[in-house]
Structure 1
Amino acid sequence: MEPHNEQAAGEVLHRRGWRKAFTVQEMADKWAWLVTRVEDGYSDSVDEYTNDLYSRNWLHEAWPILTDRVIVLWSPQIRALDDRFRAVTVFDDGIALSQFHRISGFDPIDMWWWRRHPRLLVDELGRSLRSARATN
């Protein structure tokens, strides 16, 4: 597949089923928002949390179809956000989240964010994940 600029990649992913032609900026901002929320203690429901994780899925799907220039531009920011997310989450191989959302189809290496849960378990998400035996 020919590399695409940000707008064209968004259109390709929209045709693949994403609800609109998002941009890298939109999804990087959403991923940054989620990472900050997890750092502060994510308090919404597990359904909202899993929905928010899809921002990282979009970035993962976009990467192979983006131009090298776009990848070079965005990679440092995405890597930094990924590192922050890893620092405030616990690896449990997806055991807790899989009680609420099907993750078996997600590649365990490439889509590692589905195999982690927030270290700080608060409010509604915390109650749900603790009920699934999540640990800090």
Structure 2
Amino acid sequence: MVTEAEVGELLHRRGWRTAFTATGMVAEWAALVGAIERGYGHDIYEYTNDLYCRNWLHEAWILLDDHIVQLLTPQIRALDDRYRAATFDDDGQALDRFHRLPGPDLWWWRRHPRILTGDLGRSLRSAGAVGIDPDPGAV
């Protein structure tokens, strides 16, 4: 039986900056999805950094104990569904201008927020992204 802490330590040894937990990373994914739904307020570099919480979950899933996976899978699936609803699939064309895209199994990298606001919105629009501007009168 592999604990969350053991998986966090293993992934930390593989290069993650700290020993995260699955529960903590689900919370990070939930926070990011919520921010995207409202209109992500940070820049493109913060956004791509924030997407890595989902990468961590992807890597951890094959290592975690089945019980933990069974407990957290419904939450992650619901968050993934919300993420899909709040984003457009452009096969990563917009994000690829700013960050090298990982493999195709990391589907969340091939989408961008529907609401394009602030620095992130300006960056993604400059890369050809189309979305909703919550404040069309803003400069």
What are the residue-to-residue correspondences of 1:31-42 with 2, within 5 Å? 31-42=29-40
What are the residue-to-residue correspondences of 1:65-80 with 2, within 5 Å? 65-80=63-78
Corresponding residue for residue 17 of structure 2: 19
Q: Partner letter of residue 111 of structure 2? A: R
Q: What is the aligned length?
A: 131
Residue 117 of structure 1 pairs with residue 81 of structure 2: no
Question: Aligned partners of 1:75 and 1:26: how far apart in 2?
Answer: 14
Residue 50 of structure 1 pairs with residue 48 of structure 2: yes
Moved over 6 A (4+): none
Task: Identify unmatched segments of 5+ residues in structure 2.
Answer: 132-139
Shift of 1:107: 2.0
Provide TM-score, normalisation by structure 2: 0.92
Question: Aligned partners of 1:69 and 1:57: how far apart in 2?
Answer: 20
Provide TM-score, normalisation by structure 1: 0.94
Q: Percent identity?
A: 60
Task: Identify unmatched segments of 5+ residues in structure 1.
Answer: none
Corresponding residue for residue 99 of structure 1: 97
